[in-house]
Amino acid sequence: MTATATPDHQVAIVGAGPLGLAVAAHLRDARVSAFVCGQTMEFWRDQMPRGMMLRSPLRATSISSPRRELSLERWSSAEARATPSPLPLEDFIAYGEWFQQRAAPDLDPRKASSIEHAGGSFRIALEGGEELRVQRVVVAGGIAPFPYIPPELRALPPTLVSHSSQYGDLGHFAGRRVVVLGGGQSAVETAALLREAGADVELIFREDRIVWLDAQAAWRLPKTGAPTGVGGPRSSWLAAAPDLFRRLPQAWQPRIAFRCIRPAAAAWLHTRTDAVPMTAGETIVTAEPRGDQIHLALRSGAEREVDHLLLATGYEVDVRRYPFLTPGLLEKVELIDGYPMLGRGLESSLPGLYFVGAPAARTFGPVMRFVTGSCYAAPAVARSLLGRRQPPLNWAF
For 78, 114, 209, 260, 316, the CA distances from 324, given in Å and listed in that order, are 37, 4, 40, 31, 18
Q: 173 in helix, strand or coil?
A: helix
CA 149, chain centre distance (Å): 16
Query: What are the C-alpha distances in Å from 258 to residues 63, 317, 371?
Result: 24, 15, 18
Pair (25, 133) in one structural domain: yes
CA dist., res. 205 & res. 277, Å (int): 11
Residue 359 lies in a domain: yes
Answer yes or no: is 224 within a domain: no
Which residue, 287, 311, 335, sits at the end of a domain? 311
pLDDT at 223: 55
The answer to the question of residue 160 being in a domain is yes
Q: Among positive and negative, which fits the CA dihedral 237, 367, 151, 166? A: positive
Q: Do 134 and 33 reside in the same domain of the chain?
A: yes
Query: Which one of 277, 311, 345 terminates a domain?
Result: 311
Q: How open is the CA angle 366-244-254, to the nearest 5 degrees?
A: 40
Together in a domain, 8 and 43: yes
Measured between alpha carbons, how far is 370 from 340 in angstroms, rounded to an integer? 18
Residue 137 included in any domain = yes
Judge whether 397 lies within some domain.
no
- Judge contact between 297 and 286, C-beta under 8 A: yes
Residue 179 forms part of a structural domain: yes
Measured CA to CA, the distance from residue 381 to residue 131 in angstroms comes to: 24
Q: State the pLDDT at residue 4.
A: 47
Domain that holds residue 267: 151-211+263-311
Phi and psi at residue 293, in whole multiples of 5°? -125, 175
Same domain, 170 and 277: yes
What pLDDT does residue 5 have? 63
Tell me, yes or no, whether 293 and 380 share the same domain.
Answer: no
The reply to whether 256 falls in a domain is no
Torsion of CA 91, 64, 354, 7, to 10 degrees: 90
Residue 3: which H helix or E strand, with range? none
84 and 203 inside one domain: no
Residue 2: the pLDDT is 40
Please indicate, yes or no, whether residues 155 and 142 belong to a single structural domain of this protein: no
Same structural domain for residues 87 and 169? Answer: no
Which of 311, 339, 373 is a domain's end point? 311
Same domain membership, residue 188 and residue 94: no
Structurally, how many domains does the chain consist of? Answer: 2
The CA distances from residue 216 to 74, 213, 230, 267, in Å, are 27, 9, 16, 9
Choose among 198, 257, 219, 246: nearest CA to 342: 246
Tell whether the torsion through CA atoms of 331, 336, 340 and 342 is positive or negative.
negative
295 within 8 A of 304, measured Cβ to Cβ: yes
pLDDT at 221: 41
Q: Same domain, yes or no, for 50 and 131?
A: yes
Question: Is 63:21 a contact under the CB 8 Å cutoff?
Answer: yes
Can you give the pTM of this predicted structure? 0.95
- β-pairing verdict for 131-139 and 353-355: parallel
The SS3 of residue 251 is coil
Per-residue pLDDT of the chain (397 residues; tens, 9 = 90+): 344 467 899 999 999 999 999 999 999 999 998 999 999 999 999 999 999 999 999 999 999 999 999 999 999 999 999 999 999 999 999 999 999 999 999 999 999 999 999 989 999 999 999 999 999 999 999 999 999 999 999 999 999 999 999 999 999 999 999 999 999 999 999 999 999 999 999 999 999 999 998 754 443 344 578 999 999 888 999 999 999 999 999 999 999 999 999 999 999 999 999 999 999 999 999 999 999 999 999 999 999 999 999 999 999 999 999 999 999 999 999 999 999 999 999 999 999 999 999 999 999 999 999 999 999 999 999 999 999 999 999 999 9
Judgement on whether residues 303 and 182 belong to the same structural domain of the protein: yes
CB 11 within 8 A of CB 37: no
Residues 6+ apart with CB under 8 A from 189: 49, 52, 53, 265, 269
- Give 136's strand partners: 11
Q: Is position 257 within any domain?
A: no
CATH of residue 287's domain is 3.50.50.60
Query: Do 94 and 129 reside in the same domain of the chain?
Result: yes
Residues 6+ apart with CB under 8 A from 276: 191, 192, 195, 201, 202, 203
Q: Which helix (DSSP H) or strand (DSSP E) does residue 254 occupy? A: helix 253-261
